[in-house]
Amino acid sequence: MKLSSLISALQEKHVRGETHMDISSIVMHSHNAGPGTLFVAIPGLKADGHAYLETAYQSGARAFVTQKPFRKVDAVNIVVPDSRVALAVLAAEFFGNPSLALTLIGITGTNGKTTTAFLMESILKEAGYPVGLLTTIAYRFQKLHRQAERTTPDQLTIQHMFREMVAAGIHYAVMEVSSHGLDQRRVEDTHFDVGIFTNLSPEHLDYHSSMDTYYKSKERFFTELLAQSSKKNRVAVINQDDPMGSVLAEKINYRTVRFGCEQGDIHTVNTTLSLQGITADIITPKDHFTVSSALIGTFNLYNILAAAAAATVLGIPASAIKAGIEKVPAVAGRMERIDNQQGIIIFVDYAHTGDALENVLKTLKKTGAERIITIFGCGGDRDRTKRPVMGRIAAHYSAVVIITSDNPRSEQPERIIAEIEKGVIEKGFTKAEHAAELSYREKIYFIVSDRKAAIQSGINMAQPDTVVLIAGKGHETYQEVGAIKTHFDDREEARYALQMST
């Protein structure tokens, strides 16, 4: 593609140098730079791409997008106000604006994005449509399956994958849109048909600094990005039962569909929740049908409603909505049950915020769990304020709490654990040193920093019908200590502990 065409898409006037060169690729890492590449300097959280301009130049790049001038006699420099936005616009233009050829559903909110995405995928497949999926767990369509590196990919990856989907004949794409992705402008110049808002609760405050800025990042998806998709009949699908969902819905000036338990454009009646799943009647403006899902808990009922509402506005038949919902088992690491012969009820869940942990534990209590052992930790280099909060929540609903490591990253695990411990102690729990001290006592906690040992301890002390919740990492297959990731899977460790306990 001619550089001049890309510059036209940017509508940028601050251009220095000859622009009639061919561009074979766009890159944002200097080690990918070379002859024919357009290097975009991104100011990152840990490193600034502007520091690598000379490296990219020495590697052969002769076209640069920057936020400050980079002067070379034989190079083109396009100076832009925001290189992240520029990268998104350039990527969309370079790959032929593929989102315009897709019916694109974006899902944002604190919790439930992944499960809602899987439900949407299943519904659309039942309706006979090829579907592409970009989620926290995987990026996939047809036979292609890539492990996700982040919830919302970077600008280049998004547009490249959309182009691959269009080339493969995909009609619908479903993607999670994270607050980081929105703040870092990864989905600029991406044209959505449907935006889903699941809920909002404290999360990522280490990044966003306040709940207001966190909310604003979500709001922007609907009031700016989706609103600007003027070439499409865009629709906002909003959880009206969430307080911030109601606030958000009032700020949207295009078609909005609300969902909720008992009230809303799409809502439920006759709901039954149990440890075996959900049964509910879903009411839409046109249909009334019953679904029986293997998913567990009120929070998953909202995920089901979100997917049903989005599918309804897309004109998907009720029969496909029902069948699609019912075909989704537990999503990997989301209230995923670990089968066993010992009569212990074991769940692995990704809950890593106070709200998510409370939703899971409250659900277990409501559906008949009398005694819960909760095993969890908190990630390092992330929001520290949630640690004692999660400790209090775990203690409030559990008979026994085992505090362990999650992904400590660069922090000392002992410091993270101590901050969680404060919340557990506030709820009147007493520290125990050995599992032998348990003797079926209530309100005790253990500190077992080794996560493998913590899972083994929790399962070893469980009696038949005890519920063991292993929370925080869910689908993850690694543990990050320092800068090193090693293989670790809570589900594998739970099954190993069960084998060892027989």
The pLDDT assigned to 103 comes to 97
Q: Hey, what CATH topology would domain 98-326 get?
A: UDP-N-acetylmuramoyl-L-alanine:D-glutamate ligase (3.40.1190)
The pLDDT assigned to 241 comes to 97
The reply to whether domains 3-94 and 336-501 share a CATH topology is no
Which residues, including other chains, have CB under 8 Å from residue 8's CB and lie 6 or more apart? none
The pLDDT assigned to 13 comes to 76
- Report pTM: 0.88
The pLDDT assigned to 343 comes to 92
Amino acid at 124: L
The pLDDT assigned to 171 comes to 94
Alpha-helical segments (H) within 127-210: 155-167, 179-183, 205-208
Task: Map residue 105 onto helix, strand or coil.
Answer: strand
Strands across the sheet containing 235-239:
144-147, 138-141, 131-134, 172-176, 103-108, 194-197, 235-239, 256-261, 266-274, 277-283, 288-293
DSSP character at residue 435: G
Closest CA to 201 of 390, 423, 356, 394: 356
The pLDDT assigned to 49 comes to 95
Only one residue has tokens 């469980």, namely: 462
The pLDDT assigned to 205 comes to 62
Domain range list for the chain: 3-94, 98-326, 336-501
For the record, the structure tokens of 41 come out as 């300097």
The matching CATH number, chosen from 3.40.50.720, 3.90.190.20, 3.30.830.10, 3.40.50.2300, for 336-501 is: 3.90.190.20
Task: Map residue 259 onto helix, strand or coil.
Answer: strand
Which residues, including other chains, have CB under 8 Å from residue 257's CB and lie 6 or more apart? 235, 236, 237, 238, 265, 266, 309, 312, 313
Question: 468 and 394 in contact (C-beta within 8 Å)?
Answer: no
Q: Which CATH architecture has domain 3-94?
A: 3-Layer(aba) Sandwich (3.40)
- Give the length of the chain: 502
Burial annotation 287-316 (CB, 10 A radius, 16+ → b, else e): eeeebebbbbbbbbbbbbbbbbbbbbbbeb
Amino acid at 416: I
Cα separation of 362 and 272, whole Å?
Answer: 15
Backbone angles phi, psi at 333, to 5 degrees: 75, 10
Cα separation of 100 and 93, whole Å?
Answer: 11
Only one residue has tokens 């569909």, namely: 257
Question: 469 and 356 in contact (C-beta within 8 Å)?
Answer: no
The number of helix segments (H) and strand segments (E) in the chain equals 16, 25
Per-residue pLDDT of the chain (502 residues; tens, 9 = 90+): 999 999 899 887 789 988 889 999 999 999 999 999 999 999 987 889 999 999 999 999 999 999 999 999 999 999 999 999 999 999 999 999 999 999 999 999 989 999 999 999 999 999 999 999 999 888 999 888 887 677 788 999 999 999 999 999 999 999 999 988 898 999 999 999 999 999 998 766 667 678 888 899 899 999 999 887 667 889 999 999 999 999 999 999 999 999 999 899 999 999 999 988 999 999 999 999 999 999 999 999 999 999 999 999 999 999 999 999 999 988 888 999 999 999 999 999 999 999 999 999 999 998 888 899 999 999 999 989 999 999 999 999 999 999 999 999 999 999 999 999 999 999 999 999 876 555 567 899 999 999 999 999 999 999 998 999 999 999 999 999 998 999 999 999 999 999 988 7
Amino acid at 163: R
Q: What angle do CA 457, 463, 466 make, to 5 degrees?
A: 90
Closest CA to 365 of 348, 351, 345: 345
The pLDDT assigned to 138 comes to 85
For the record, the structure tokens of 259 come out as 């969902």
Instruction: Count CA atoms within 13 Å of residue 465 on its CB side.
Output: 6
